[in-house]
Amino acid sequence: MSKYKVFVMRHGEGAWTKENRFCSWVDQRLSEDGVKEALACGHLLKEAGYQLDVVFTSLLSRSIHTAWLLLEAMGQEWVPVVRTWRLNERHYGALIGLNRAEMALNHGEEQVKQWRRSYDLTPPPIDESHPYFLEIYNDRRYSTCDVSKEFLPKSESLKDVLERLQPYWDGTIVPEIKRGKLVLISGHGNSCRALLKHLEGLSDADIVDVTLPTGTPILIELDENFRPTKPMQLLGDQKAIQAAIRKVEDQELL
């Protein structure tokens, strides 16, 4: 029997999704479509009668704006929004800013798929010569973290993402859910995948085939031991959701 519910969702479409570039820790805003997606999610949850108690986001604007727009559409703007770097998108290292289709041309589609979806492959690290290095590491938001700047990642596999996220899930989010709070996590494609791997008990091989659409709330129902009681549900028009998943998958095609 389900004891707890939690929503996990990838933020609305970001500006760089249109350009097909790895965005990761670069603080791009939502695209116009991304704004619409976030509002639509809020309307969907409102119509279903959900009342949120707390929303967790990353430190990146596209995840925070998604939370704001969603809460506004629900008429629940007063709900606390808690931000943490531990929900940030996976750090794509030296791949940040590069175009996925161009990468496929140079390295092959299979290599790009491995970089994007495998569980334990870490892309080459970012270094000071990278055009976005200073923009990321000089950003004041990263001096507010629970680890000092020099220990923030320079590149991550999905496994690394789960390792930095899980202590926050266990220590901060789970206690809220246990207190009876309805929590929504406005995260990123890969921070949400890492969390879903953990919650759904997916194997390292199975997570490779999980791709998340932008701006789609995923409802997870859990028993008292935080084990899923039914398959996760992607809420909304199922045909449109499948098309949105395919769009993300096809980003590495030539």
Which segments are annotated as binding site?
Answer: 62, 89-92, 116-117, 189-190
Tell me the C-alpha distance between 249 and 230, whole Å. Answer: 25
Between the CA of residue 73 and those of 66, 192, 217, 218, 223, what are the distances in Å? 11, 22, 14, 17, 30
Which one among 6, 8, 9, 23 touches ligand 3PG, defined by CB under 6 A? 23
CB 223 within 8 A of CB 2: yes
Is 11 annotated as catalytic? yes
Q: Where does this chain touch ligand 3PG (CB under 6 A) — which range of 21-29, 30-38, 126-134, 226-234?
A: 21-29
Q: Where does this chain touch ligand 3PG (CB under 6 A) — which range of 42-50, 74-82, 141-149, 183-191?
A: 183-191
Which one among 58, 122, 155, 190 touches ligand 3PG, defined by CB under 6 A? 190
C-alpha 108 chain-centroid distance = 25
Return the residues of window 103-122 that contact ligand 3PG according to CB under 6 A. Answer: 116
Is 89 annotated as catalytic? yes
Determine which helix (DSSP H) or strand (DSSP E) holds 60, and give its type and residue range. Answer: none
Rg, the chain, Cα only: 17
Is the Cβ of residue 9 or residue 52 nearer to ligand 3PG in the bound state? 9
Does residue 65 belong to the site contacting ligand 3PG (CB under 6 A)? no
Does residue 22 belong to the site contacting ligand 3PG (CB under 6 A)? yes
36-59: burial string, b at 16+ Cβ within 10 Å, e else: ebbbbbbebbbeeebebebbbbbb
User: Which positions lie near ligand 3PG, rule CB under 6 A?
Assistant: 22-24, 89, 92, 116, 188-190, 248
